[in-house]
Amino acid sequence: MNAASQGNIGNCGAAFVTTHWSVVLTAQGHSPAADAALEKLCRTYWWPLYGFVRRNGYKPEEAQDLTQGFFAMLLERHDLDVVRREKGRLRSYLLVSLKNFLVKAKRREMALKRGEGRALVPLDELVTRERAALEPADNLTADKIYERRWALTLLEQVLKRLESEYQGAGNTTLFEQLKELLSDEGRRSQAEIAHELGMTENAVKQAFHRLRKRYRELMRDEIAQTVAVPGDVEDELRHFISVLRA
């Protein structure tokens, strides 16, 4: 990934009016908005937290149970209120909470049921992803696996949002070609893409400029939805970039 995520990306204060983070914090009951926000929260953090649990020596099924049980515990105890009061960052808070949860789980030999009857995230999708991932077998620490998966998941969400916008405008082929340029590993030049699409090189250059600008905006918006106060966005964005580059 290149420096596309960096720089001044404009004022995003409006993102704090209603983000999935702020909605989840106030989701004591059930509502379509709260359920949608909660689903996004779980989808964003299930894979990183599950990776942390697996790295701590638990078998896949045990790790699934513990991760689902952890989310169920947070919802039951309304622990997310603590983050709001302390103006914390969701990423850091969840990892600390999970560590405490695992200590208690081991001490009490908890027999957790998956999500205590509540299907927080479809497990089939996540198990398939786990089988395709090599991280549990490498030399990363549990904390590093969590950070890495967190960053990759956010990146995936941004690219999916960007792709959806281009699909809606009927520009799927253009998106597929230009997204390669967002990566440092992209080996195709703008001239090559222009030739393949039947465009001028200058037109491709302008199109990529627009894509990268929107990419930055969406990345900032995703980050904004994981912190409790606007002042934390820049630091969290820098941390995100450092994790991807590590």
Please determine, for residue 182, whether its predicted confidence score (pLDDT) is greater than 60. yes
* Segment 177-190 mean pLDDT: 80
Token code pair at residue 49: 């937290």
Q: Which tokens hold the place of 163? A: 């792709």
The larger pLDDT score, comparing residue 176 to residue 107, is at 176
* Position 122 confidence tier, pLDDT thresholds 50, 70, 90: low
> How confident is the model at residue 43, as a pLDDT?
75
Please report, for the chain, how many H helices and E strands are present, in that order: 11, 0
Report field, pTM of the whole predicted structure over 0.75? no
- Give SS3 for 38: helix
Give the whole-number percent of the chain exceeding pLDDT 70: 65
Rg (CA), the chain: 20
Q: What is the pLDDT at residue 105?
A: 83
Grade residue 25 by pLDDT with cuts at 50, 70 and 90.
low
The domain segmentation of the chain, as residue ranges, is 3-245
What CA–CA distance (Å, rounded) separates 226 from 229?
Answer: 9
Residue linked to tokens 């515990």: 73
* pLDDT exceeds 60 at position 162: yes
Residue type, 173: T
